[in-house]
């Protein structure tokens, strides 16, 4: 119960941050990405602030064995950059640049009833399902799968 309540509060805080920062507004995001036109650099400060918070949080997390909620800390250890990571990052950036959404703001806009968000989220879910189907086929045919293992 405590975990679910804190998860809800973290999600609400994240959503509020997206609204306040302007990341939930596709026009603002596209203005940030338009470096050859009417560039809006304000989101660079938002991202810079997020990076600073992340650096601090990971520095603290590396020194701990348990999370603040009492769960075992499991931080990423793989430092190898694989082609699928690069291709996935490029696809993410392409989708972000075309739609002006990334997953968090898209879900926020979906909740607000934006039609563009419906199309984006449907496409995102279809991509996730296609990835899962490909990974299952690889596993069932004995092929190597480097996806995340489920707990």
| Mean pLDDT confidence for 45-73 | 90
| Alpha-carbon span 78 to 46, nearest angstrom | 27
pLDDT tens, position by position, 73-120: 888 888 899 998 899 899 888 888 888 888 888 988 888 888 888 999
Confidence of residue 143 (pLDDT cuts 50, 70, 90): low
In angstroms, how far is the first alpha carbon of the chain from the final one? Answer: 20
pLDDT tens, position by position, 19-41: 888 888 888 888 888 888 888 89
pTM, two decimals, is 0.67
Residue with tokens 């660079």: 44
pLDDT at position 144 is 59
């Amino acid at each position: 119960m405590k975990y679910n309540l804190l998860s809800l509060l973290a999600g609400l805080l994240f959503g509020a941050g997206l609204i306040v920062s302007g990341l939930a507004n596709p026009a603002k995001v596209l203005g940030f990405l338009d470096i050859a036109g009417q560039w809006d650099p304000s989101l660079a400060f938002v991202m810079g602030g997020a990076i600073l918070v992340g650096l601090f949080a990971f520095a603290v997390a590396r020194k701990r064995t348990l999370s603040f909620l009492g769960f075992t800390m499991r931080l990423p250890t793989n430092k190898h950059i694989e082609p699928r990571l690069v291709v996935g990052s490029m696809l993410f950036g392409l989708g972000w640049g075309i739609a002006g959404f990334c997953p968090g703001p898209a879900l926020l806009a979906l909740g607000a009833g934006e039609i563009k968000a419906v199309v984006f989220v449907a496409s995102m879910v279809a991509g996730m399902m296609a990835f899962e189907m490909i990974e299952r086929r690889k596993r069932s045919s004995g092929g190597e799968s480097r996806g995340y293992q489920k707990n």
